[in-house]
Amino acid sequence: ELPAVPAPGGNYVHAVRTGNLLYLAGKGPIGPVRGKVGLDVTVEQAYEAARETGLVLISVMRDELGSLDKVTRIVKVLGMVNAVPEFEQQPKVINGCSDLFVEVFGDAGRHARSAVGMGSLPNQIPVEIECIVEVTD
């Protein structure tokens, strides 16, 4: 079950389409987990937060396109992890979203990806993820 798309938290839109590419703005988890991974948040909790964030991104895709059948491929994912400086497991955290995309879209969900650490994220969310999606009419 997909969550409702939250209202934008600033002066931006959830997605911009140019040609056959849909660029999704960064989103975070809806759940209550907050804080830095490696201090307040475990890798397992952050993985689940990344999965929740993937569900929000899929909700945006559906709202923007009218149907997930128009998604032909997840092209690129940028996963940002709010972590302590010595944290080194960003890829394990962002796998929460990547695994979900493969579960939902099969081989079309396999994507290029960056998983990076951040000193902070808005509202102390543990992850923020954005993506680029190839779509069809």
pLDDT in tens, 35-50: 999 999 999 999 999 9
* Conformational region of residue 38, where left means phi above 0, alpha means psi within -120 to 50, and beta covers everything else: left
Instruction: Give the burial string for 89-109 (b: 16+ CB within 10 Å, else e).
Output: bbebbbbbbbebbbebbeebb
* Conformational region of residue 123, where left means phi above 0, alpha means psi within -120 to 50, and beta covers everything else: left
Read off the pLDDT of residues 49-107 as tens digits, 9 standing for 90 and up: 999 999 999 999 999 999 999 999 999 999 999 999 999 999 999 999 999 999 999 99
Structure tokens at 61: 């895709």
Read off the pLDDT of residues 16-28 as tens digits, 9 standing for 90 and up: 999 999 999 999 9
Q: What is the C-alpha to C-alpha distance for residues 27 and 56, in angstroms, rounded to an integer?
A: 7
> Mean pLDDT across the chain, nearest whole number?
97
Q: What is the C-alpha to C-alpha distance for residues 63 and 49, in angstroms, rounded to an integer?
A: 21
pLDDT above 70 coverage of the chain, percent: 100
Half-sphere exposure of 97 (CA within 13 A, CB side): 35
